Structure 1
Amino acid sequence: MTHPKDIKISAPEQFALLNDPDFLNQVVTRYLQQFLEAEITTFLQAEPYQRTGDRTGYRNGYKPRVRKTRVGRIELCVPQDREGRFHSGLFAHFQRSEKALMLALQEAYLQGVSTRKVTKITEQLCGTSFSKSQVSELCQELDADINAWRARPPSKRATVDVDLKKHIEAFHTRSDGTYGAPRIFKDLMDMGIRVGKKRVARLMREMGICGFSRRKSTQTTRKTQQSDKAPDLVKRDFNVATVNKLWVADITYVPTYSGFLYLSVVIDAFSRRVVGWAMARHLQSELVLSALNMALYQRRPEDVIHHSDQGVQYTSIAFGKRCREAGVRPSMGAAGDCYDNALCESFFATLECELINRRSFRTQA
């Protein structure tokens, strides 16, 4: 008998074993074939070519039989006797016990093989118990299978997975643990590595890593019914031919232990660069004016479009006056529609997810 302590399988081996349909198909086929041989031996009371007075009949070749199982299509050779009296009880019990068989085989390989476990499986499948010698022979087959499986060289796919995991870990570390499967997939494609997004997600699950998700939103845009809004000059088309033709702006917040700190930015739509920004403890028009003034000082544009939402800061008299003085054309999307200012919303989503949400700030300084 093989004691469970004699066989130890590491965690990577367990995962590979339970996710290798070819190996499981081979194991199930060998198991069932051995069960059939043990079953006819018990029925005839004699091993093949054994001379004994207890023999009740003789073998008469095999009949092929195909079964569809959870691990694929398996082909079995059902033994026959000369009188045609032998009828295997395996298939009648197998249909009801297939799931239990798969779990029992996996457990036997992961925790160790013993005659007690094998005897229990045979009784469930065939409705009868076999001799100790027959069960011991099945246990030896189990040991041979698992030793052959552990000694086999890694497949081509497994070798590629090892290299992919190195690249995935490098990209994930470089992003400070923020990149998930979609972004790492794009990075791999940029490197010229052809791989599926689902495969990247599977490997990340195996490695126990994932991206960082977003936080719940807080409203920072407040629209006033009395204010005059500027027309929408962008119409959700953020494609421009050069710099300083279209700027997008918005406001977000940074939570601290001493209250919210508000951040206003101005982004150039062509370069995707933040050309102006400002922070304050309030949501007054001075916040967005400071960000606009920084952008004007750094870029000195001519006839640039400043696109934002309909927040009271952007519809204020002071902000409109500053735009006229600098030759800036204000543009505003529809109220409550994030898609009209999608470029800036996307920037804030990345900033919040990958930087702000992952840190705690004690003060506003």
Structure 2
Amino acid sequence: MHTVRLIQEEGKTVAQVAREMGLHENTLYRWLAEFKADGAQAFPGSGQLKPDDKAMRDLQKRIRDLEEENEVLKKGHALLRQRPALIYAYIHEHRSKRCVTKLCSWLGVSRSGYYEWTTREESEQSLKRKELDKHIRQAFVDSRELYGSPKIHQKLKQQGVMVSEKTVGRRMREMGLRSRTVKKYKATTNSKHNLPVAENVLNQNFTAEKPNQVWMADITYVPTDEGWLYLASVEDLCTRKIAGFHMDERMTKELCLKALDQAYRLQMPEEGVLHHSDRGSQYASAKYQERLQNYKITGSMSRKGNCYDNACIESFHSVLKKELIYLNKFKTRAEAKAKIFEYITCFYNGKRIHSSIGYLTPNQYERTFQKMA
């Protein structure tokens, strides 16, 4: 047999041959045992078997069993290190397609243990685990399948479900729940211009004591089949709320102005807001700076080539892309606009929790200040 010859004649290890052949190691060990027990002539290709031989038929049946065993072991490999109850559940799920006796043998559990498990009354611990799994799955679905175990743990904590983050992570792995975010990044704005730039007043002090004290502004891009769609956003540093945003097919100062106007109209801030952006020509333009003066807003700009000076708003755009843009293919700009509008207004501001504000949503955190006022 070719695989046996690789091990015996060429000196390769079982693990190495298993990787090359796409087999489970346990299957190879069984094949070696069969080879030693029956001798080399018991395998096809030895020239000593006749088509009608009973030995040939027995051998073909044994090979089919071994191939079937390998398929099961490859699929259930992770179960071999888990609790017997999980192995029993796997056997129960596949009992209509496979022989129960074989499944029990391959996965290293007794047949009597399996049948006892099928008639056993469900334990209180098992019922509690199912209830926890239900809460975890619901929180995961509510997050649009975007949260990992830390945020799922915080959501359960807010709901009064007391469980450790480690347990949440383990249950999510066993249920196959994994965040579907995708990581990519690309810079967009053009800072190569001769327009005057503001001093870096913020200086990476990413803290604010109350809403409408510091606003962060930036532009990002969204690919569609019709071409680029550009998004300008204004974020409140205190609440992490997207206070204003606007989208257009061109990256102009009007794009940024409309986002700023929306933020000012909706938030109605008092005088003295600090507005921080990069050195992009849109923000450095005379018209944009004039609008800041009219609103009595102080301008601040990042240092040249320093992406960390505007990290908070760039972080939002990164999250937007990981949680929405890279998970969808937009045919038109209108389709992208609708999805982004819904994501920002409904999900990001209204439902998505943030670790930096005590695992509250931006709207919830903003309301805490309104109550105090």
TM-score by length of 1: 0.58
2:294 to 325, 334, 341: 325
8 Å contact kept, 1:267–1:276: yes
**2:301 is aligned with 1:309:** no
Partner of 1:19: 82
Q: Distance in 1 between matches of 2:167 and 2:281?
A: 47
Residue 186 of structure 1, aligned match among 113, 137, 154: 154
Q: Cα deviation per residue 1:283-310 (whole Å; 9 max; x = unaligned)?
A: 2222212222222333253121101122
RMSD value, Cα: 3.6
Note if contact 1:109-1:146 (Cα within 8 Å) is conserved in structure 2.
no
Bigger fraction of residues in helix = 2
TM superposition score normalised by structure 2: 0.57
Alignment correspondent of 2:132: 164
Q: Which residue of 2 aligns with 1:334?
A: 303
Structure 2 Cα separation of the partners of residues 300 and 200 of structure 1: 41
Quote the Cα distance in structure 1 between the aligned partners of 2:264 and 2:285.
Answer: 19
Aligned to 1:353: 322
Inter-partner Cα distance in structure 2 for 1:159 and 1:337: 53
Moved more, 329-338 or 14-23: 14-23
- Give the counterpart letter for 1:19 in structure 2: Q
Q: What letter corresponds to residue 341 of structure 1 in structure 2? A: N
User: Which residue of the partner structure matches residue 247 of structure 2?
Assistant: 279
Partner of 1:221: 189
CA contact (8 A) 2:234 2:245 kept: yes
Distance in 1 (alpha carbons) for counterparts of 2:316 and 2:259: 16
**2:173 counterpart of 1:205:** yes
- C-alpha spacing 1:143/1:279, structure 2 compared with 1 (3 Å): closer
Greater percentage in strand: 1
1:226 is aligned with what amino acid?
A: N
How far the C-alpha of 1:23 sits from its partner, in A, is: 11
- 1:1-365 pair list within 5 angstroms: 18-20=81-83, 111-113=103-105, 142-152=110-120, 157-224=125-192, 226-298=194-266, 299-365=268-334
Question: Aligned residue pairs: how many?
Answer: 249
Contact 1:250 1:309 in 2 (8 A): yes
Report the 3-state secondary structure (helix = DSSP H, G, I; strand = E; otherwise coil) of the residue aligned with 1:314: helix
User: Computing the radius of gyration over CA atoms, which structure comes out larger, 1 or 2?
Assistant: 1
Unaligned runs of 5+ in 2: 1-64, 66-71, 88-98, 335-373
Letter in 1 for 2:316: F
Per-residue deviation, 1:255: 1.4
Alpha-carbon distance in 2 for matches of 1:158, 1:319: 61
1:235 Cα deviation from its structure 2 partner: 2.9
Instruction: Tell me the distance in 2 between the aligned counterparts of 1:112 and 1:321.
Output: 76
SS in 2 for 1:179: coil
User: Separation in 2 of the partners of 1:147 and 1:244?
Assistant: 65
